[in-house]
Structure 1
Amino acid sequence: MSKTLLSFVVPCYNSKNTITAVVDEIINTVETRPNFDYEIILVADSSPDTVYDVIKNLAQTNPKIKGINFARNFGQHSAIMAGFRHSKGDIVFSLDDDGQTPADELYKLVDVINNGADIVFARYRVKKHNRFRNFVSKINSFMMETLTNKPKQLAVSSYFAVKRFIVNEMIHYKNPYPYLGGLIFRATSNVAHVDVEHRERVEGKSNYSFKKLLALWMNGFTAFSVKPLRISTYIGVITATFGFIYGLFIIIRKLVMPQILIGYSSLMAVLLFIGGMILLMLGMIGEYIGRIYICINESPQYVIKEKVNLEDDNGQ
């Protein structure tokens, strides 16, 4: 009887002191069930520390551990996409490199997949993130509900498992600015979650700066939905209607009470408001056009500088 292959994709950034423990926990957990095998794909996102040296050392001791090193920093979602393209597993996992995602509970996700779900997310009973990160998670969840087909009650996280056919669909996306939420929820609606523990961070702090989070949100807004453009249209219609009604009010008031002077301050306030809204909408349209331009120029989703224990014909 052939074993079910589990692929584990771990994007790595500033994690030279934690990645070995994560790998060991994955291996020890998988080996508790003899009908499963594993491969671990560690993707170094041009990390400023020596995590890729750690990855190479791990790969030398175990051929099931595979490494990828990017030429520059492309972001977590691009790193996961690179790992997905090189994976061969029947079920593919994504989890973090800092040890906060409990690899020893991976079979909870496998069991939900085997019960029929196409994708299963880990839902943390109590999140151990700081307040800012929890706030960011809520915004990401709201964005997915608004811009994709994510069910409202579904919990999403960076720890999830996906069936092979979903991965095969996701990796068809070759453009820059991948957004995993959009790729997942456009592929299937058969999604579930399962409760797991969320651990304290072993060391360091989150690698998501405000700049990176802003870029991620922009990807979510523009990569898989035209709803922002439709919202712009609605705002334009509402603003124009308000302006028309206010204009009628000013004309009628002037006819009824001609001694009243037209207020300069109120006029400037209206002009500044409308001007700001126009610039906001133009910026949004410009973002869409700019991304179309970048895609036409075939900008890479990522650039691989080096691989270990991987064939050269599996990815970009």
Structure 2
Amino acid sequence: MSIKNLSVFFPVFNEEGNIENTIENALKVLEKLKLEDYEVIVVDDGSTDKTGKVADSLAKQNPKVRVIHHPKNSGYGEALKSGFYNAKFDTIVYTDGDGQFDFSEVNKFLEKIETNDLIIGYRIKRRDPFFRIFFKKGWKLTLLAFFRLTLKDVDCGFKMVKRKVLEKIPRLESSRGAMINAELAIKAKKAGFKIGQVGVNHFPRLSGKPTGANFNVIIKSYLDLIKLWWELKDNKTLFLCLLGIILLACFLRFYKLSGYMTFLGDEGRDAIIIKKILTEGDLPFIGPPTSVGNIYLGPFYYYMMTIPMAIFWLNPTAAAGMDALIGVATVMLIYYLGKIWFGRASALIAAFLYAISPVNIIYSRSSWNPNPAPFFSLIGIWGCYKAYQTKNFLWFILVGAAAAAALQMHYLVVLLIPIYLILWFFQYFQKKGRNILTGSLGAVIAFWAVMLPFVLFDLRNNFLNFRAIKKLLFDHQAVEFNPLGILVKVPGLYFNNLIGRYITAENLILTAVVGILILLPIIKLIVQRFKGKEMEWSLFALAVWLVIGLVGLSLYQSSIYDHYLGFLNPAPYLLLAASLNLVRVPTSHVGIRLLFWTAVPVLLLALTLVNLQKNPLVYPPNNQLKRTQDVAKFIIDKSEGRSFNFALLAKNNYDSTYQFYLDLYGHKPKPVPAEKTDQLFVVCEDPVCDPTHSPKHEIAAFGWSKIEWEQEVYGVKLYKLIANPSGRP
């Protein structure tokens, strides 16, 4: 053992029943260590019992024991600081004075301190009340989130530290609570010191009461944590910019959500299905129908909707709120990936532009199954990156699950599968990675596990979707491989549908500039490949994502709508971040540098202006949800408590929204002709309606009828039809 001198201290507060035993045991252990010298410090933190007197008595009996008295209770943190900064030797160890640790285990620390600067104990089995253990679990997760601190038990009251650590790191500031332990570890880690861990036994308290987990201490610890986090935070200005972007994204997605959200037939259909799940336990194995080929999606989006609509009982705004929250999370993911790949400043610009894009805002403000596709696409790309970064194929399990979730948002998301496969092969052929077989099989299992309800549906229904997909692909109904067509269609998809619609608000000049700028990193990648240099993974992944996505979409023969590109739309934002990072120039080129730092703000300002001009919030809200609710209540009032039939006349809508609320309000319309009543309420959303002569099934099946009254209600026309067997007016 190379340690010759050792300072030991014990922070105590009202430990008169434990302190004498603790000190005497420590002295016995220290004598056996054959040290040249040692000291034992008792830090009495303003005890109100006889702790101080017992400690003074021990100091009189042994000159190696000394006592530091605090005039009042200042908290655990102040007690530790008194011990740290009053110790005289180069190696310092402390443990709590309540006797819950066996000081003889200091040998474990002495063995490890030779190759480490700070040794932190972790309790092999805690002997604390449940509340303290519960708080510590939450505290550990908080430290992981704020500081990426992954220690097993940072708050364990048994540690050894070299004096040089305390001398180099900023002075410890925390006064109370667990934060003092975390602060020591965080600052030591940030300063580059080596941290080791050892397991120690933890025994039940024999006397006194614990003081470390009362409500005031917990609050103070979290306040200390926030203060420390801010003090150690690098690039505070950039962080405040990020916070501003997140708040802006939240505002643009949540402001008057119930007024602006779309609530038409598809949303009403989904709400009815969620109601059946929550009230009848009717779990669907199939999702919404697609617009082509009699193909259905999986039910994953319905399962997602169930959570918010269960919390905010059957409120469709909650489902829209879920999509809004996912939209904000997508902004944060773009920043996160952009930061680790291309730097904070470039990532902030990419996240900001994504946050203010009118198309992205629109698709984040309603509950619709294609809306989360960008989020799940990014999760898959992140999983591929983590597999590459950590050289661990187990991350592809996340990729498989994300791919299955994304595929159930929209059928064109199937194009993600070849993208993820290419990234898998890229890593595999570079022979970089472990757990290749386990991770790859796990990815396949995760994919089919998430797809399981969809698969079970097909098995029960004679492979309905499989046959429809086969027909779609091989009968050239909607997909056709034409090399010339690809060359013709890809530029338009790229500049008009992707860059123009999503980033530049269809401004032609900005579309050309940004479109070219985004291609620069791909050009760099090609140059790297021809020069035989190793390609940057991030640029390779984004290039594959963009190229495969555009080529795949070009094979689709029908019209391309904005939401078809949802799985692809994060890619150009990240490539823009890469481009901004790429065109930075050396400081010696002052003129070019000045041009760059002038051009970027001008471009950013122009993009901000054109996007904000088309922001959906500049228009009045559609109030579709409130209109539906009010019309449903009006019909119920006019039905006078009697059963009724219902029909909707609308070219761009169907009746599921009204059906949902009429049922929710306890007046579900009767179906015709099975349960024909004496009154039929017809809502007309078209400019011109002739309900008595409409061929719509719900009206025709009601039989000959005449209009008893008509009235304009909340922006729609409402008719009450009654039977008219004679057919005469």
- Structure 2 length-normalised TM: 0.33
Contact 2:77 2:175 in 1 (8 A): no
Question: Larger C-alpha radius of gyration, 1 or 2?
Answer: 2
1:258-288 C-alpha deviation (Å, 9 max, x unpaired): 68769xxxxxxxxxxxxxxxxxxxxxxxxxx
Secondary structure (helix, strand or coil) at the match of 1:112 reads helix
1:202 maps to amino acid: L
Return closer, same or farther for 1:211/1:258 CA change in 2, 3 Å cut-off: closer
Paired position in structure 1 for 2:186: 185
Offset at residue 122 of structure 1 (A): 1.3
Tell me, yes or no, if structure 1 residue 223 matches structure 2 residue 228: yes
Tell me, yes or no, if structure 1 residue 249 matches structure 2 residue 258: no
Secondary structure (helix, strand or coil) at the match of 1:239 reads helix
Paired position in structure 2 for 1:45: 45
Contact 2:261 2:624 in 1 (8 A): no
Q: Distance in 2 between matches of 1:234 and 1:75?
A: 38
Q: 211, 214, 222: which is aligned to 2:219?
A: 214
Offset at residue 101 of structure 1 (A): 1.5
Structure 2 counterparts to residues 168-207 of structure 1, below 5 A:
168-170=167-169, 172-173=171-172, 179-188=180-189, 189-207=193-211
Contact 2:39 2:64 in 1 (8 A): yes
Paired position in structure 2 for 1:145: 144
Q: Distance in 1 between matches of 2:18 and 2:175?
A: 29
Contact 1:30 1:36 in 2 (8 A): no
Contact 2:17 2:208 in 1 (8 A): no
Q: Distance in 1 between matches of 2:183 and 2:36?
A: 30
Query: What root-mean-square deviation, in Å, do the aligned CA atoms of Structure 1 and Structure 2 show?
Result: 3.1
Return closer, same or farther for 1:194/1:176 CA change in 2, 3 Å cut-off: closer
Q: 217, 233, 240: which is aligned to 2:251?
A: 240
Q: Distance in 2 between matches of 1:21 and 1:78?
A: 23
Paired position in structure 1 for 2:56: 56
2:73 maps to amino acid: N
Q: Distance in 2 between matches of 1:258 and 1:207?
A: 57
Q: Distance in 2 between matches of 1:203 and 1:248?
A: 62
1:21-63 C-alpha deviation (Å, 9 max, x unpaired): 1111111111112135321111111111121111111111112
Higher RCO (C-alpha 8 Å, min separation 6): 1
Return closer, same or farther for 1:44/1:240 CA change in 2, 3 Å cut-off: same
Paired position in structure 2 for 1:78: 78
The structure carrying a bigger helix percent of its residues is 2
Tell me, yes or no, if structure 1 residue 154 matches structure 2 residue 152: yes
Contact 2:16 2:51 in 1 (8 A): yes
1:1-21 C-alpha deviation (Å, 9 max, x unpaired): x97211112111010111111
Contact 2:146 2:229 in 1 (8 A): yes
Paired position in structure 1 for 2:403: none
Q: Distance in 1 between matches of 2:131 and 2:173?
A: 32
Offset at residue 167 of structure 1 (A): 2.2
Return closer, same or farther for 1:223/1:4 CA change in 2, 3 Å cut-off: same
Q: Distance in 1 between matches of 2:170 and 2:41?
A: 16
Q: Distance in 1 between matches of 2:65 and 2:71?
A: 20
Q: Distance in 2 between matches of 1:220 and 1:256?
A: 43
Return closer, same or farther for 1:255/1:186 CA change in 2, 3 Å cut-off: same
Return closer, same or farther for 1:169/1:256 CA change in 2, 3 Å cut-off: closer
Q: Distance in 2 between matches of 1:211 and 1:256?
A: 45
Offset at residue 170 of structure 1 (A): 4.8
Q: Distance in 2 between matches of 1:154 and 1:3?
A: 26
1:45-100 C-alpha deviation (Å, 9 max, x unpaired): 11111211111111111121111111221100111001111101221112111100
Contact 1:148 1:182 in 2 (8 A): no
User: Identity percentage over the alignment?
Assistant: 22
Q: Distance in 1 between matches of 2:206 and 2:169?
A: 32
Offset at residue 135 of structure 1 (A): 1.0
1:210-257 C-alpha deviation (Å, 9 max, x unpaired): 212221222112233367986965663343122247253384534899
Paired position in structure 1 for 2:11: 11
